[in-house]
Amino acid sequence: MSVRRNGAGVAAGAGAGAVQRKASPAPGKAPARKVSSAAGKSTATEKSSARRASSAAKGPAASKNAPASQKAQVSGKPAASTKAAASTKAQASAKTAATKPQVRKASPGKASPGKASPGRKASPGRKESPAAKKSLARKKSLVRRAGRPGVRELWRRPGTPYLVLVGSCTLLTVFGLMMVFSASQVQALSHGHGSAFYFRKQLLAAAAGAVLLVAAMRAPVRLHRKAVYPVLGTAVVLLCLVQVPGLGQTVNGSTNWLSLGGSFQLQPSEFAKVALVLWGADLIARKESHRLLTSVRHLLLPLVPGALLLLGLVLIGGDMGTALILCCVLFSLLWTAGTPARVFGWALAAAALACVALVATTAYRAARLSCVGAVDPGPDDQCWQAVHGLYAFADGGLFGRGLGASMEKWGQLPEPHTDFVLAITGEETGLVGTLTVLALYALLLAAGLAVAARTGDTFVRLTAVGVTTWIAAQSTINIGGALGLLPISGVPLPLFSYGGSALIAALFGAGLLLSLARSQGTTVTAPRRGKRTGRGGKSPGDGGRRTGGKRTAR
């Protein structure tokens, strides 16, 4: 019988030997063997119970390792391999436990000792402090406002200037038509016409101006640049025709109108503003493209001589207010082009000398200048208009007398629907209506400057600055005269007061601004990708490099 090396074989051999010894005991030693076997059994029982007690004391980890050691002893494998296998199993079980999501169960009866959450009501016996309530309300308001864009975000959007221009121009024109109808009724009746005579003429001019506005708005920028010299030539020819006897008409001491037959007239000096803006912007843009603006001579020539020609033709007709507006437009173009400050110093000095000479040589201009800031009509009533304009503003109060209820238009103001339409507006609609008109002009000017600031095209920037300066200067001169802060010049309030030529020209200028704003709306979007044709195209942002397709083999 071969003895095996494992524990089982030894135990089996020992058991067999014991059986054999029990079957054939030696004489005289049988009791001793029985006692030893009984003692061995009791010792084995004690050892096994001790092992069980030690394994129970070590816990589940020891009980798990015990069978592995026993298997290792039975199979005869070394203890190192058994430990390696046990460590591998332990690592695998640890990875499995790490990958499983650990769900932490909260006790249903316990709550966190901190503050109550916003979505959960606090316990009835516990009150929150006022500071906690205030902070919670502030957090909720911030969460509500997070999804709403602010004023700055709305203003920075590409389409905002376009919408502001459309809204402000529309509201000013409609409100102006309403006030022209209210302010001109007495004047129309006093001249033997119907009460809506001036309103109908203004309505026809608004319709013609709306057509020009839509045409200018829909036209691309390159078409505006092509129309520069035709517009300039037309303006110069019309200004020359005004001085031809029989064609030009003199109104209130100024010869600035052409008769179109019947009661319709045309004032060419209004279109000279459009011509100067377009021609000056195109001229400076062309010189900048050739890098010629580094010289002062190229900045001033031939822009300044051409502008002086328009100024001379306007001043010959006696329209000093329009001449001042043309000077403002010229200065804005030169300033935007980067003309040195010393040039503006000499230009302002020359303009001041010219104004002094014009005022000194004309009696009525000196009288108007003396009425600036007057609160009394004077002995000869030479400041009658300026003082009664202030009376109209004062009588309006906060909300006005009501539409059509003005008292100053009944012979107190000689031109209530042209020079003093804002005063009649203040009397009938009060301070609220006056501030509304001023706010609309402020929005219009801000949108025009936004169009100029957001573009990289020199022509677009200069045109936007020129049109905005034109409207701002004309509005300032009219409003300042109505408030008694500037001399009365007879310049109409753009888009608001009576004057067909002024309204048509202003609507055309607004159409130019809208066209420039629309061009910005198309440039901010992503460039459209074309189809592959096998040839490389030019992308807008790669500086003219070839991109895209490959050459095909011939």
What is the per-residue pLDDT across 120-177, written as a single tens digit (0 to 9) for each? 444 555 566 778 877 888 777 766 666 567 777 888 888 899 999 999 999 999 999 9
For residues 448 and 260, what is the distance between their CA atoms, to the nearest angstrom?
33
How far from 97 is each of 90, 92, 102, CA to CA, in Å? 11, 9, 9
How far from 368 is each of 26, 298, 318, 374, 486, CA to CA, in Å? 158, 39, 15, 10, 9
Q: 145-154, 205-214, 285-294, 388-397: which range is least confident on average?
A: 145-154
The stretch 71-94 carries a mean pLDDT of 50
| Structural contact between residues 423 and 386, judged by C-beta atoms closer than 8 angstroms | no
Q: Is the pLDDT of residue 536 over 90?
A: no
Of all residues in the chain, what percent carry a pLDDT higher than 90?
Answer: 48
Give the pLDDT score at 520: 80
* Residue 51: half-sphere exposure toward Cβ, Cα within 13 Å: 9
| Structural contact between residues 511 and 451, judged by C-beta atoms closer than 8 angstroms | no
For residues 510 and 449, what is the distance between their CA atoms, to the nearest angstrom?
13
For residues 240 and 312, what is the distance between their CA atoms, to the nearest angstrom?
11
Give the pLDDT score at 431: 96
Spatial CA neighbour of 303 closest among 333, 347, 328: 333
Q: How confident is the model at residue 179 (pLDDT cuts 50, 70, 90)?
A: very high
pLDDT digit string, tens, across residues 366-384: 888 888 988 888 777 788 8
Q: Is the pLDDT of residue 20 over 50?
A: no
| Structural contact between residues 6 and 74, judged by C-beta atoms closer than 8 angstroms | yes
**Where do the domains of the chain lie?**
180-523
**Is the pTM higher than 0.85?**
no
Q: Is the pLDDT of residue 58 over 60?
A: no
For residues 173 and 206, what is the distance between their CA atoms, to the nearest angstrom?
8
